[in-house]
Homo-oligomer: A and B are copies of this chain.
Amino acid sequence: MKITLAQLNYHTGNFATNNKIIIDAINLAKLEGSELIVFSELAVCGYPPRDFLEFKDFILQCESSIVQIAKHCEGIAAIVGSPSVNPKIEGKDLYNSAYFLADGEIKKVVHKTLLPNYDVFDEYRYFEPNREFAVIEYKDLKIALTICEDLWNLNENPMYINCPMDELIKQNPNCIINIAASPFSKVQIETRQQVLQNNAIKYKLPLFYVNHIGAQTQLIFDGGSCVLNANGEIINELKYFEEEIKNFDLSIENNKLKILNCNEIFLTETKLPDKYKDLESALELGIKEYFRKQGFSKAILGLSGGIDSALVLYLAAKALGPENVKAVMLPSQFSSKHSIDDSLALAKNLHVAHEIISIEETFNALQLSLKKQFEGLPFDIAEENMQSRTRAVILMAMANKFGYILLNTSNKSELAVGYGTLYGDMCGGLSVIGDLYKTEVFELCEYINSNEEIIPKNILTKEPSAELRPNQKDSDSLPDYDLLDKILFHYIEERKGPQEIIAFGFDETIVKRILKMVNSNEWKRLQAPPVLRVSSKSFGFGRRLPIVAKYLN
């Protein structure tokens, strides 16, 4: 028999489009003689649907999609993710479900047991956990059908008190199918492969895994759907960062399932971690999808002559095409000549159009307007921020006039310590590199330049500066980025406290100063643009901290 894995790109709430791509895939699989096609978690509505799940209208549209899709399941079965209504009065009103469709109708509905409710996940906000377990029998298949997190409880400090596969295995299934919505992070591909392998090994069963591909604002889904044999070897993988539909031939004898057209040779094709290439692919997909799914095509951004905006320009040009990107240089009396020259060289390398718009006149007009109020007071952070905000006003005026989306160029280090101007350089519809520490920005640029000098070398070697007062350098206000980023990583990604970080050998004064800066700037980050998430802990809705708190600050 033939089974098809469909790794597709859904658009949250766009039922018409999602239905169409699901039904098209079913028809294609039928033509190719497949007997079962598997789609990913919450495919009909896209993932994450978030509070749309609280609207009865939204759930009705999910149900109606399932009915329409089921009609196409004649001569083929399909497993499709969708929310479903909990018929019981007690408990939450919904389940996160996998529909088993065959003979033109709904044959069975399996619910998710383990509901992730950490980091960016809020599933217990909407769904009741499953408490009943039954394998699905279809032809010779006996499927242990699970949904994403259901396989993620095999570790030394399990987050859940039960393990759905421990229940299902009692019914003697001959394979595991897992439908997922597992977002990318720099460590996720390896972690995910490991989790799937551990399950195949523990339960001695082949495993079919189908993930989302595509991005939904902050979350980037990298695909990488795969098939494992009962030894826990990944014998085939679908593409990363691209849609793919793939068939697998099986044989089942004495309730033993074998995958025929995959042999051990495939093992060498399994994806190996490729940090910077993956990072670049993820960020480009994140940009592309943010624009496409909002119906925009053109981006604008301010080029400062520094490395952050250079990297964002490079990524935007690759994601949207250089013809769809506009670079704007916004010099002031404090801008170095090299800032313009380097920016011009970069725009030229990338074939991106540019404008040069001075902020001097506007900055002077602002100072004149505030002359009476600021009389006799020294130039300080107020004037620095005024420049940054003037740039934002001009960039947003261009965006509003011509239909661009402004891309934000803040990095994770500066977002962390609040080294940025709210309503100034913190503006933008999307933060492209807000989940990359400054040191990672440098590393990624060096990777990009590894074959040819795309980003002018001078941009990579100059000392970072906001250029908001004469001879300003980042190092006037911040520790070296090497040191800063290490401490930030311990605090943000690893959630280590001050004593634990100091115990790693860092200076107490610096550690406490940095943690205080992070916690004191929560109010700024609350108003930051959505950040493309590429780490295990990104700023945004996966990191939720109080604002008026008094802890370490």
Contacts and interface: CB of A to CB of B under 8 A. Distances in A.
Contact of A397 (B48, B125, B382): B382
Contacts of A543: 51
Interface in A496-553: 496-500, 523, 526-530, 541, 543-552
Contacts of A370: 357, 394, 397-398
A52 B487 CA distance: 17
A548 B92 CA distance: 26
Interface string A340-376: 0000000000000001011101101110111001100
Nearest to A399: B382
Nearest to A542: B51
Of the candidates A46, A90, A527, A552, the one having the most CB atoms from chain B within 10 angstroms of its own CB is A527
Contacts of A216: 546, 548-549
B361 A52 contact: no
Contacts of A383: 397
Contact of A544 (B17, B366, B541): B541
Contacts of A248: none
A9 to B, nearest CB: 12
Given A382-B400, A497-B57, A547 B369 contact: no
Nearest to A421: B396
B373 A369 contact: no
Contact of A500 (B54, B56, B289, B365): B56
A119 to B, nearest CB: 9
B160 A523 contact: no
A92 B115 CA distance: 12
Given A12-B549, A548-B216, A551-B58, A385 B364 contact: no
A451 interface: no
Contact of A50 (B55, B361, B427, B546): B546
Nearest to A357: B369
Contact of A551 (B12, B380, B429): B12
Given A380-B401, A398-B370, A57 B499 contact: yes
Interface in A21-58: 46, 48-52, 54-58
Interface string A409-430: 0000000000000110001010
A254 interface: no
A65 to B, nearest CB: 13
A540 to B, nearest CB: 9
Contacts of A401: 373-374, 377, 380, 382
A400 B373 contact: no
A549 B156 CA distance: 37
B46 A549 contact: yes
A14 interface: yes
Nearest to A48: B546
Nearest to A523: B429
A124 interface: yes
B392 A423 contact: yes
B90 A160 contact: yes
A477 interface: no
A422 B400 CA distance: 11
A278 B361 CA distance: 49
Contact of A546 (B52, B374, B393, B397): B52
Interface string A54-95: 111110100000000000000000000000000001111100
Contacts of A500: 56-57
15 contacts: A11-B548, A14-B551, A49-B549, A92-B159, A93-B157, A117-B124, A125-B544, A217-B547, A358-B369, A361-B365, A361-B368, A361-B369, A362-B366, A382-B400, A527-B527
Given A122-B125, A380-B401, 6 more contacts: A12-B551, A355-B373, A362-B362, A373-B401, A377-B401, A385-B396
